[in-house]
Amino acid sequence: MTQELITISPIDGREVVRRPYASEAQIARALADAQAAQLGWQALGVEARGRIVSEAVDRFVASKDEIARAITIQMGRPLRYTPGEVAGFEARARHMIAIAGDALAPIQVPAQTGFTRFISREPIGVALTIAPWNYPLLTAVNSIVAALMAGNAVILKHSDQTPLCAEFIERAFREAGAPKGVFQYLHANHDIAQRLIRAPEIGYVSFTGSVRGGRAVEEGAAGRFIGVGLELGGNDPAYVRADAKIDHAVETLVDGAYFNSGQSCCGIQRIYVARSRYDDFVERAAALTRRYVLGDPLHADTTLGPVVRARAAAEIRDIVDEAVSAGARNLMDSSHFDKASKNSPYVAPALLTQVDHRMRVMSDECFGPVVGIMAVDSDEEAIALMNDSPYGLTAAAFTQDEEAALRIGRQVRTGTFFMNRCDYLDPALAWTGVKNSGRGVSLSAVGYEQLTQAKSFHLRSV
C-alpha cells in the first residue's frame, strides 16, 4: 500500500497535493498529546474554551478566499460557490459555540430535602472525526466544534481528496492559541483510520461517508463500547403537491438535485409530482436544467463542475444508461453540455421521466447530477413512494398547506423533513438519519449529547 497521499484534481487531472501518511510514531504521539491536553482543556471551562474556538473561527474565516479556491481545486465545485461553504462553516460553528453553555449545563432534578442531586455532562475524552470530500468543511465542523466546546480533544482524519482542509483548520486553531494537542489532524489511509478507531485513547468516532464506510467504522469499534456517529448515504425524495407554488418548487428542487454536481448525501434524487402539475413541473425543470453551464469550475460562468473523479462519473453514467434501457426518458441531451465527455469527470445533468422504483436511480444513492421524476395521484401514494427506500436522511414537501405538510412529515421515515425547501442544514436542528442513512446526531443542543457522557451526583447531608 502506498505511503503517500496524492490528490488529483478533477478539473484537469493534475496532481495538486502530495503528503506522507502518518507514521506509527506520529500516530502514537498524536494520541498521547490529545489525551494529555484534554484534561487541561476541560478544566478551562465553557467560556474560556469558547473564546479560543471563536478566535479560531475568526482566523479561519479570514482566509476565506484561499480556502475556497483550495476546495475548488481539490474536488471541483465551482469557485462561485465554495466561499459559501466557508460561510456555512462559520455559521454552524458560531451557533454551536453560542448554545454550549446551556446545552452543557448540569441537568437539575426535583429538589429533595437533605440531598443535592444533578446530572453533569462530562467530556468523553478524545474524539475522532473522519470527514469526506464532498463538503469538506461542513461535514467536519458538525462534530469538531461541539466536541471541543464540550471539553474533548479532537483528531481529524480528512479525505485524501481534500487534505488541505484539515491543514487549514489546524492552522486556525494553532494561530488562535489552542493548547498543543487539543486539535490535531492526521493524514491517514484506511488502515491507519482503523488503527485510530481501535486506539484506546479514542472515546468517540464521528464518520460521514458511504454506507460501506460506516460498516467499516462500526466493525473497527466493535467491542470497544464507544459512541459512533454515522452520517451515511441518501436517496432523498421530494413531493410537489397540487397546491405548490410551482416556480418556487422547480427552482428549489433543480438546485437541490444538481448543486455540487449532485454530490450531496441530502441532495434531491427523487421527485414525486401531483399528476395535475406534473407536465408543467417537468417542462419548467427541463428548461432550467438546460441553463446550467458545465465547465471549468475556476471560470466565473460555470455553474456545474466535474464530479470528483472519472471513475465516479462512469458509475453515474451507468445508472442513467440502466434507467434509459429499462424505459426511462432522459430529457437532457448531453451534447448540449460541451464539456461532457465519457472518459472524464465532466458529467451532463440527467433529468429522467418515465422512471419507477425498479430502477437503481430511484432505489439507491447516485452521487451525481441525476434526478428522477414521477407523477402521483394522492398524498398517500407520495408517502408510500417516499418511504420506499433503504435510506432516510431528508425529505421535502412543497405545498402552501402547513397542516398537510406536518401530516405528511409525520408519516415519512426520515431524519429531517422540510416544507418548501431542501438540501439544507439548520444548526439549531438535529442532523440525523434513519435506516441506511446512519445513526447518531450532530448539531443542535441534542448534538452535544453525543459528545458527552452523563455523570450523576447524589450528595446526602448527614
Q: Which residues are catalytic?
A: 231
For residues 163-200, b (16+ Cβ closer than 10 Å) or e, as one string? bbbbbbbbebbeebebbebbbbbbbbbeebbbbbbebe
- Edge-to-edge strand list for the sheet holding 115-123: 107-108, 115-123, 452-460
Question: C-alpha 349: how far from its chain's center?
Answer: 22
Contact 236, 416 (CB under 8 A): no
Distance CA 302, CA 309 (A): 18
Q: What is the residue whose three cell numbers read 441525476? A: 370
Q: Is the Cβ–Cβ distance between 209 and 264 less than 8 Å? A: no
Non-local CB neighbours of 46 within 8 Å, separated by 6+ positions: 100, 101, 104, 149
Beta bridge partners of 301: none
CB 288 within 8 A of CB 253: no
- Three cell numbers at 437? 442513512
Helices (H), 208-328: 211-221, 246-258, 275-289, 310-325
Residue 315: count of CB within 10 angstroms of its CB: 15
Residue 404 in grid coordinates: 398537510
Measured CA to CA in angstroms, residue 20 lies from 67, 163, 393, 453 at distances of 21, 11, 35, 35
Do residues 453 and 436 make contact, with C-beta atoms less than 8 angstroms apart? Answer: no
Hey, which residues does 107 pair with through a beta bridge?
119
Are 17 and 161 contacting, i.e. CB atoms less than 8 angstroms apart?
A: no
Residue/partner pairs of 37-45 with CB below 8 Å, 24 or more apart: 37/153, 37/179, 37/180, 37/181, 37/182, 38/123, 38/125, 38/126, 38/151, 38/152, 38/153, 38/181, 38/182, 40/179, 41/148, 41/151, 41/152, 41/153, 41/179, 41/182, 42/123, 42/151, 42/152
